Amino acid sequence: QNALLSATGTTIFTVMSALANQHQAINLGQGFPDYDGPPDVVRAAAEALMDGRNQYPPMTGVPELREAVAAHNRRFYGIDADANAEVVVTSGATEAITACLMAVLNPGDECVLIEPLYDTYLPVVKLLGAIPKLVRLSPPKWELPRAELAAAFGPKTKAILFNTPMNPTGKVFTSAELAFIADLIARHDCYAICDEVYEHLTFDGWKHIPLMTLPGMRERCMRIGSAGKTFSLTGWKVGYVTCDRSLAPNVAKAHQNLTFTTPPNLQRGVAVGLVKDDAYFEGLSSHLQAKRDRLSRGLERLGFGVLPTQGTYFITTDVRPLGWNGDDVSFCRTLTEEAKVTAIPVTAFYAPRTDTHDANDGAPNHYARFAFCKGDALLDMALARMEAWL
């Protein structure tokens, strides 16, 4: 059997959701809304299903969705992309990340990753025989350690893969940070895989900036979006990559060998969604901002050290001010078992520095991540349960 996969644990999201179910806990762990996406988007997909759009669609995506992705890029960021030659539809951003890594990495190439990182990044880089170069962000500020990042780039660097707005930190990369990254990419003549699934989930006037819009970056970036996040439909697994025409054929060939196509009826729904008016996208972030505020205020009142969140579905909290002396893993486990509320330990987003899973030396190990993409009544109930437990 494949040694790397044998050594890979079950994802923390599955582990914690199973534990939540087992203890009938309110699941503020795995990031999925408990409300449905826009009815017109869902209806368009349902109608497409009933209309018989159920056979293999074109490999790189149905033309209507590729056009919608291109129009969305133009409307929000001024990115001009050819819908036929520069957009590839995938089965979720998860597939898109793997397809983009496959498109550029050869065995022995180095790939820069920024921790805390989403859990598919590292195993896929390693499975491709590439060498991960990890750079850590640390709470409470999650600032980009510029000297360390610069040192992670070298003659073998082929790509950097990073996520903004960033899960789990809620950090939105600034234009100055992006300019710093862009400069490294240009100097080392490499590519960027930009996981931008939370592009529309930003708060307090923070605006998402695609790295692709910076000077010199248009040809080097593969920009990834997800219908799961943009339309609160995480089970749909429809993702989209925008990249230069010189890169798209390889991304498409990776997709061809991973899933080949993505359900055409869902693609129809997403196409309807991406051309919705600006009010939809503004409403999405203001609706979530109110939930962020509700949960942040409640957690603060309970004594958690709540860190600011500029985007995503997530709040990270320091559990030490509660008087918790153990680590985040034991905290999240105990919270699930006793308070009946589930959160995700942030250490899960840091790579162990050795093969023993405990040894993620120096990574912060007293932070819990809470998802706030839930109905207000459920958020209030979770807070009440924690208050009764504390």
Residue 226 touching ligand PMP (CB under 6 A):
yes
Contact flags string 29-58 toward ligand GLN, x per CB under 6 A = -xx---------------------------
120 versus 330: smaller Cβ distance to ligand PMP: 120
Dist CA 332 CA 337 (whole Å): 9
CB 68 within 8 A of CB 62: no
The pairing of beta strand 87-90 with beta strand 26-27: unpaired
Cβ-based nearer residue to ligand PMP, 77 or 240: 240
Residue 239 interacting with ligand PMP (CB under 6 A): yes
- Residue 13 as a binder of ligand GLN (CB under 6 A): the answer is yes
Omega of the bond prior to 139 within 30 degrees of 0, cis? no
Please select the residue that binds ligand PMP; options are 37, 38, 170, 228, rule is CB under 6 A.
228
From candidates 66, 171, 237, 369, binder to ligand PMP by CB under 6 A: 237
Least Cα distance to 190 among 294, 109, 292, 92 occurs for: 109
77's enclosing H/E stretch is helix 63-77
Q: Are 345 and 116 in contact (CB under 8 A)?
A: no
- Does 132 engage in binding with ligand GLN (CB under 6 A)? no
Q: How many residues bind ligand GLN (CB under 6 A)?
A: 5
Q: Are 339 and 381 in contact (CB under 8 A)?
A: no
| 268: its two tokens | 């129809």
Which residues within the stretch 77-116 sit at the binding site for ligand PMP (CB under 6 A)?
92-94
Q: Which residues of 90-102 are buried (b: 16+ CB within 10 A; e: fewer)?
A: bbbbbbbbbbbbb
Instruction: For residue 367, give both structure tokens.
Output: 């932070």
Tell me whether residue 11 or residue 174 sits nearer to ligand GLN (CB atom): 11
Q: Does 15 bind ligand GLN (CB under 6 A)?
A: no
Find which of ligand PMP, ligand GLN, none residue 93 binds, CB within 5 to 8 Å per kind.
ligand PMP
CB 11 to ligand PMP: min, Å:
10
Q: Please state the closest distance from residue 121 (CB atom) to ligand PMP, in A.
A: 9
Nearer to ligand GLN, 228 or 269 (CB): 228
Q: How far is the CB of 383 from ligand PMP (least distance, A)?
A: 24
φ, ψ at 344 (rounded to 5°): -110, 130
Sign of CA dihedral 5, 223, 234, 340: positive
| Closer by beta carbon to ligand PMP, 263 or else 298 | 263
Residue 29 as a binder of ligand PMP (CB under 6 A): the answer is no
Q: Is the dihedral of CA 65, 66, 67, 69 positive or negative?
A: positive
Contacts of 129 (CB under 8 A, 6+ apart): 105, 106, 107, 108
- Amino acid residing at 96: A
- Token pair 């055409």 is found at 264
User: Looking only at residues 140 through 179 of this chain, which bind ligand GLN when binding is defined by CB under 6 A?
Assistant: 167
Q: For residues 88 and 303, is the Cβ–Cβ distance under 8 A?
A: no
The option from ligand GLN, ligand PMP, none interacting with 190 (CB < 5 to 8 A, set by class) reads none
Identify which of residues 312 and 317 has a Cβ nearer to ligand PMP in the complex: 312
Q: How far is the CB of 178 from ligand GLN (least distance, A)?
A: 22
CA distance 245 to 100: 13
Rounded least distance, CB 216 to ligand PMP, Å: 25
Q: Does 8 bind ligand GLN (CB under 6 A)?
A: no
Q: What count of other Cβ atoms lies within 10 Å of the Cβ of residue 182?
A: 21
Binding site for ligand PMP (CB under 6 A): 92-94, 118, 163, 167, 195, 197, 226, 228, 234, 237, 239
Binding site for ligand GLN (CB under 6 A): 11, 13, 30-31, 167
